[in-house]
Structure 1
């Protein structure tokens, strides 16, 4: 059978991970059959693994028999350094940004070809956006993504362009040469900006967030409606916030270095 051929040679760990990664934003609740199909494993294998994962708490079963990610897995995920150090350091300053600008505030890191959103804050009357905490969006069409790509190694930029620059709106940059010039401008002026490149009607501005050695570890950004946004005004509060977060991270590192 096709399911068995796809499953051949895979370790138990790989199969268990394939069960968990069968879930995503569009498939947050799945039947056992759907899990087996999306994970590429036989139904009998899925039944055994799902039962073990449910018993441990990585999955939970609803009243209608569908499965979802369990609370235990969320608890484990909250122990990741991104949450215990970067997010904790940035959150107070992100909240202040959200209150003062009344716009959406993003904190993101790069994972291969994507900007992964570590935290997202939304003001009551801010523009609607497609990002979500824990979600992924492209690097070339988002403000935080452009910052992360601009400060990535040259080989990463080359491979990213070779991978293909998807068009999300008529204004998305899809030409490698043009993107290269844009990334150079990001490094030169110290911030990135987009204008309706990910979502029509929205623009974004983002700045790098640096570690103590100067390396860019994340990007901090704002998203607003294009009709009312002025990049110079949006970037003005971002820069001191990024510097404050950098100092907070240095303080955390000092506190965890064994002093005292």
Structure 2
């Protein structure tokens, strides 16, 4: 029996299942899509969708599909975990974006994935596999590797135990090779990723620290493969990460 069809599930739990059925790359869904993804009866899905529509949490498009409503986005911007982070980070991200004219993105750890909470792009920049609110794998993305490197041994073991998916021929799928790669990041202070999640993308990423010197986020610049020398832009990315960290109260002099 699908989890969402179990008797006794609360209305809140079922509404949550509907909202979280939407993902990056699947942001526009039909009633049939929602029924299939949640495992709930079609009649239940239809009733709950109508309730979400009335509250502005879902919106209906011209072709009859459903998308997340702007009220959900408004709530998301108030999340205490990301609000001060985004406020401090935006000026530094704007500077990087103006100087490099490439994708600049900010991500936080959620479970065993990196969630993109802010991004700046240009129309000429490379298309990316994940948008704001989307998720990236920890073992093969720049922001993911930074968050994984600071997540402790238990997180590394959990990610490795679930299998390291090969998104491209250059994805790291061997746990020991991944461990060595993370060690190299710690040594130099920034992660370099070469077409590990997408065949045509490279990135350089660095950590952002909070007041208690824990890694609270990762900052990256993503470019089309072969167009930019990542080592040449790494100092600017690292400097921006340190600036954001200082803005969050981190004492960067305590770190090398």
TM exceeding 0.5: yes
The equivalent of 2:208 in structure 1 is 209
SS of equivalent to 1:168: coil
Distance 1:4 1:199, change over 3 A: closer
Alignment of 1:127-206 (within 5 A): 127-206=126-205
SS of equivalent to 1:81: coil
Q: Residues 195-243 of structure 1, C-alpha deviation per residue, up to 9 Å, x if partnerless?
A: 1212223221111111122111111111123323323212111122112
CA contact under 8 A between 1:142 and 1:197: conserved in structure 2? yes
The offset of 1:24, in angstroms, is 2.4
CA contact under 8 A between 1:102 and 1:124: conserved in structure 2? no
CA contact under 8 A between 2:4 and 2:17: conserved in structure 1? no
The equivalent of 1:6 in structure 2 is 5
Distance 1:66 1:129, change over 3 A: closer
State how far apart, in whole Å, the 2-side matches of 1:108 and 1:9 are.
36
Distance 1:6 1:148, change over 3 A: same
CA contact under 8 A between 2:102 and 2:222: conserved in structure 1? yes
Distance 1:33 1:211, change over 3 A: same
> Which deviates more, 77-86 or 101-110?
77-86
State how far apart, in whole Å, the 1-side matches of 2:66 and 2:219 are.
35
Distance 1:191 1:53, change over 3 A: same
CA contact under 8 A between 1:7 and 1:42: conserved in structure 2? no
Pairwise CA RMSD of aligned residues? 2.2
> Which deviates more, 21-30 or 148-157?
21-30
With normalisation by structure 2, the TM-score equals 0.89
The equivalent of 1:121 in structure 2 is 120
Alignment of 1:235 onto 2:234? yes
The offset of 1:40, in angstroms, is 1.2
Q: Which runs of 4+ in 1 moved over 4 A?
A: 2-5
5+ residue gaps, structure 2: 251-256
The offset of 1:5, in angstroms, is 8.6
Distance 1:73 1:147, change over 3 A: same
CA contact under 8 A between 2:4 and 2:39: conserved in structure 1? no
Q: Residues 152-208 of structure 1, C-alpha deviation per residue, up to 9 Å, x if partnerless?
A: 110110110001100011111100010011111111211111112122232211111
CA contact under 8 A between 2:24 and 2:133: conserved in structure 1? no
With normalisation by structure 1, the TM-score equals 0.88
The offset of 1:25, in angstroms, is 3.2
State how far apart, in whole Å, the 2-side matches of 1:35 and 1:93 are.
39
State how far apart, in whole Å, the 1-side matches of 2:246 and 2:181 are.
29
- Greater fraction helix: 1
CA contact under 8 A between 1:161 and 1:176: conserved in structure 2? yes
5+ residue gaps, structure 1: 252-260
The equivalent of 2:71 in structure 1 is 72
CA contact under 8 A between 1:4 and 1:42: conserved in structure 2? no
Distance 1:43 1:124, change over 3 A: closer
Instruction: State how many pairs are aligned.
Output: 250
